[in-house]
């Protein structure tokens, strides 16, 4: 009985570690998500262009609608959220539902693992 309980406890600890690891995200995988779902409209480098979407350089901790050189929607400016892991995940899951009136035409990141990976990448790539 004791060995069964020890095995169950080890399994629970292992699953918890895996779950926490998945939430942290993998920036290398996130780079692929960015390349396939975001790169057509956004750049990440200091001084990068703003065309279809704004440059995302220094995105984290920035207030929505305040990046230089882009004509943000009234909704983006009015909502004035500070971008962090939670606000970005909520917005990127379904931009139009999260911020009605946004100009962003994007169906959203639907897979939680991809979301965690994308955010991990953005945190690294936009500093």
pLDDT digits (tens, 9 = 90+) for 33-42: 999 999 999 9
26-125 homologous superfamily: Cytochrome c-like domain (1.10.760.10)
Interatomic CA distance for residues 108 and 92, integer angstroms? 5
* CB contact set of 109 (below 8 Å; sequence gap of 6+): 33, 37, 92, 93, 115, 118
Q: According to the model, what pLDDT value does residue 105 have?
A: 93
pLDDT at site 23: 63
Distances (CA, A) of 69 to 21, 34, 38, 55, 111: 36, 21, 18, 8, 31
In angstroms, the Cα distances linking 11 to 7, 97, 111 are: 6, 38, 25
Cα–Cα distance measured from residue 110 to residue 52, given in angstroms and rounded to the nearest whole number:
22
**Residue 103 near residue 73, CB atoms below 8 Å:** yes
Ranges of beta strands (E only) in the chain are none
What pTM was estimated for this model as a whole?
0.80
Predicted pLDDT of residue 24 = 87
What is the pLDDT tens value at each position of the chain, 127 positions in all? Answer: 555 444 444 444 444 443 344 468 999 999 999 999 999 999 999 999 998 999 999 999 999 999 999 999 999 999 999 999 999 999 999 999 999 999 999 999 999 899 999 999 999 999 9
- pLDDT given at position 51: 82
């Amino acid at each position: 009985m004791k060995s069964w309980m020890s095995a169950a406890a080890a399994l629970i600890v292992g699953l918890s570690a895996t779950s926490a690891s998945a939430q942290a995200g993998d920036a290398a995988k996130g780079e692929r998500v960015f390349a396939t779902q975001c790169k057509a409209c956004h750049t990440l480098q200091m001084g990068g262009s703003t065309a279809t979407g704004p440059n995302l350089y220094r995105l984290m901790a920035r207030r929505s609608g305040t990046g230089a050189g882009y004509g943000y929607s009234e909704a983006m400016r009015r909502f004035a959220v500070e971008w962090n892991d939670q606000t970005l995940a909520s917005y990127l899951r379904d931009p139009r539902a999260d911020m009605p009136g946004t100009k962003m035409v994007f169906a959203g990141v639907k897979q939680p693992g991809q979301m965690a990976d994308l955010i991990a990448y953005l945190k690294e790539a936009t500093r």
